[in-house]
Amino acid sequence: MKCKAVGPENAKIMLVGEAPGAEEERTGIPFVGGSGQLLDQCLTAAGISREECYITNLCQVRPPDNDFTRLPYDARKAGFEELQSAISRVRPNVIVPLGNTALVRLTGETSITKWRGSILESEEQKKLIPAYHPADVLRQMEWQPLLIQDLSRAKDQSPYPEIRHPEWNFTISPSFPTVLGYLRQLKAKMVREEVILSGDIETRYGHISCFGIAEDPHNAICIPFIKEGQSYWTETQEATIVHLLSQIFNSENAQWIFQNGLFDLQYFARFWGAVPNILVDTMLVHHALWPGMRKGLDFLASLYCDYYRYWKAEGKMMLDGVTEEDNWHYNCLDCVYTYEVANKLGEACIAEQMMAQADFQMSLFRPVFKMMLRGVRCDERRKNEIAMELMQRKEEITKEISHIVGHPLNPRSAKQMKEFFLGEVHCRPVRRNGRVTFDDKALSTIAVRYPLLQPLIERIKDLRSTGVFLSTFALMPLDADSRLRCSYNIAGTETLRFSSSRNVFGSGTNLENVPAGDSTLPNIRKIFIPDEGMEMADIDLERADLQVVAWEANDQALKDIFHGGYNPHIENAKALFSLTSLTHDDPRYKKAKTAVHAANYLVSPPTLSRALGIPASEAEYFINRWYEIHPGIRLWHERIRASLHERKMVTNKFGFRRVFFDRMDEVLKSAIAWIPQSTVANVTNIALHDISTLPDVEISLQNHDSWSSNTQSLKRSRASVQSRGASPS
């Protein structure tokens, strides 16, 4: 049956899908199946009645296997002509293309993820606001709030047909007198009052290519520094501009807004020798509100700004037709969007009662930046020795693998691994997302299935670990002063832990999981040494996740273990295996430690089986035995499940929250894990912030749940900590 469009002929909003599905074909009405029910929910949440919308599709007949590309050309052509006729007849004020196919057909743009929420104009001068297709949202439920947001924008835009562009005033390609006059006027204004500015840099060739400044969401100036590979200014002119900018940065009355400001400030510090005082970093504040959501400026603007049109491709100089002027205009857009986002984020923090949490995240900005700028001193001799040790070890393991296999085998070659495991020894393949894989998890599964291959598999894993140690740490590039500096991202993970990477200039590495080594691999942390005249202190949270679980679950037995000063992993192993004594060297110690951690986070028997290399029946026994000994863990899981179904969120003891938009049963494991992980992250970050204010202490690096610092006197620092009522351990 042909599906007919529905809705009033004078509708202000037109929704355009792709083509009918099975239920639509049966009833002859668009969007009545599962995706239609979701669309109705989102329309209601956006304050729109389905009856006030004109709802149709690009084509009114169902495609073979619901694949639009398989529709005959004549059917697609006829459907689009029918749609064009409906648009001319209804004359809606706003059209909402639902999904990528409708986006491409109605606008010529591609990628619904980039363009959703944008206010676009078609060739026929129609106003369009693309949104995710409800069928796609059913598969990715975290997109549901975005569909609601975009429908809300359509409702706001529906009273009038024209696109009302903001009254932006951008100054690009300025002359030297223009820049000089602007900066001097700004400097004079700061003498009289506090000024809030947003800033943004663009970079090229490892240098600042331009710097944009906005005083409000409408007015911005872009100050170029590079044009077509050459300096935009004379040497004297650039020195004068940078000197004025440095004075503005140093003014107490200048408060700045940046998006991901830790990136920009690395360039300011290196090339200009001065950094601005950051009042708001929009990425950090948004992350405090919605950990787990995307954090790019384009995404934030699509959520918070009244007018939004995706612009992030406009300034990409590698694209054909993009001029220097386009790049500078793009820079100004970054500034005004950042300013408006900051304003709306402030309102959101108040509405969501999350201002304290956002303020705390912002309080981390300065100490983290100082830590990045300072870096950590490295022993290059020891670093080179470790590199040589690892190279030798790689060679030895490679020979062992070749001896076992009978010929050379490169574990990094998917082709060779497939030929050996599937072709030579005839293993059953392990698939993930439909593809055969030989990652470490897959190899653990093969080792359980084929015990005779376990020695070989262990050597392959060792070779991979050795390679990671060598390339990531032993060969990591240092700066010229033999210091290691990385880029930290305070908003790096949804659990509120930092992430880290090489810095913006290409040196350093990811320091979040610097390995302490084991019986076969060296301790990479020995590379880090204190500065002259100082000592190095390492502070770590011991068994932190398990402590949080014990108190969250109100499990008195686990609490007693911690209060008594016992090793919880030994006590747990003794309980699981019904032992009276156990040592760290006993294989059951590590097995119990892994099993307990996994069971606390609702692991399944097959997953634990692969992790431990044991049969699924044994894994199931471990899990059930743990819940039998500690029933409070199960009750805690049920409380989290109830919270998810009631509020779609979980919170930790510091008031931070994680909102989930997926189906609740699908995110239960993530929600359970988030609480202890975010709590530990908060404790670590609070300590980092407070210790960084102590005299004679310099935080050097942050590593997962620990950090290291240089101090002139450990005794003096301990006394300072104790005077604040804290524990130095």
Strands 278-281 and 254-258: parallel
For the ranges 57-61, 303-307, 371-375, 710-714, the maximum mean pLDDT occurs at 303-307
CA distances from 339 to 302, 330, 423 (A): 14, 14, 60
243 and 355 in a single domain? The answer is yes
Answer yes or no: do 401 and 314 share one domain. no
Pinpoint the alpha helices (H) of 553-663.
556-563, 568-577, 587-600, 605-612, 616-629, 631-647
Q: How confident is the model at residue 62 (pLDDT cuts 50, 70, 90)?
A: confident
Q: Find, among 503, 514, 511, the residue nearest to 479 by Cα.
A: 503
Average pLDDT for 33-37: 91
To the question of pTM greater than 0.75 for the whole model, the response is yes
User: DSSP label at 129?
Assistant: -
Residue 726: per-residue pLDDT? 40
Q: What is the pLDDT of residue 318?
A: 54
Q: Which residues of 362-390 are buried (b: 16+ CB within 10 A; e: fewer)?
A: bebbebbbebbebbbbbeeebbeebbebb
* 345 and 415 fall within a common domain: no
What's the CA angle centered on 46, arms 40 and 51, to 5 degrees? Answer: 50
Residue 173 sits in the same domain as residue 153: no
Q: What is the pLDDT of residue 314?
A: 62
Distance CA 4, CA 15 (A): 13
**Cβ neighbours for 156, distance < 8 A, ≥ 6 positions apart:** 306
Last residue of a domain, one of 338, 363, 388: 363
Is there a domain that residue 393 lies in? Answer: yes
Model confidence over 627-672: pLDDT tens digits? 999 999 999 999 999 999 999 999 999 999 999 988 887 899 999 9
Judged against a pLDDT cut of 50, whether residue 718 lies above it is answered with: no
What's the mean pLDDT when you consider all of the chain?
91
- How is residue 254 written in tokens? 């200048």
pLDDT tens track for 240-274: 999 999 999 999 999 999 999 999 999 999 999 99
pLDDT at 1: 64
CB 555 within 8 A of CB 632: yes
Asked if residue 724 has pLDDT above 60, the reply is no
Number of domains in the chain: 3
> Does the pLDDT value for residue 374 go beyond 80?
yes
Q: Is the pLDDT of residue 715 over 70?
A: no
Q: Which of 391-395, 495-499, 534-538 has the lowest mean pLDDT?
A: 534-538
So what's the pLDDT on residue 729? 29
Question: pLDDT (tens digit, 9 = 90+) per residue, 192-222?
Answer: 999 999 999 999 999 999 999 999 999 999 9
CATH number of residue 61's parent domain:
3.40.470.10
Q: How far is the first Cα of the chain from the last one, in angstroms, to the nearest whole number?
A: 73
Average pLDDT over residues 600-605: 92
Q: Among 363, 386, 413, where does a domain finish?
A: 363
In the beta sheet, which residues pair with residue 311?
none
CATH number of the domain within which 198 lies: 3.30.420.10
In a domain, 613, yes or no: no
What's the domain range around 62? Answer: 13-157
* Total residue length of the chain: 729
Percent of the chain clearing pLDDT 70 (strictly above): 96
148, 224: one domain: no
Q: Which of 109, 133, 157 is the last residue of a domain?
A: 157
Give the SS3 label for residue 61. coil
422 shares its domain with 301 = no
CA distance 559 to 416: 50
In a domain, 567, yes or no: no
User: Rounded mean pLDDT of 692-707?
Assistant: 80
- Average pLDDT estimate for 367-383: 93
Residues 272 and 241 in one domain: yes
Q: 387 and 355 in one domain?
A: no
Tell me the Ramachandran region of residue 704: left when phi exceeds 0, alpha when psi lies from -120 to 50, beta otherwise. Answer: left
Region of poorest pLDDT, from 288-292, 578-582, 612-616: 612-616
Q: Same domain, yes or no, for 426 and 394? A: yes
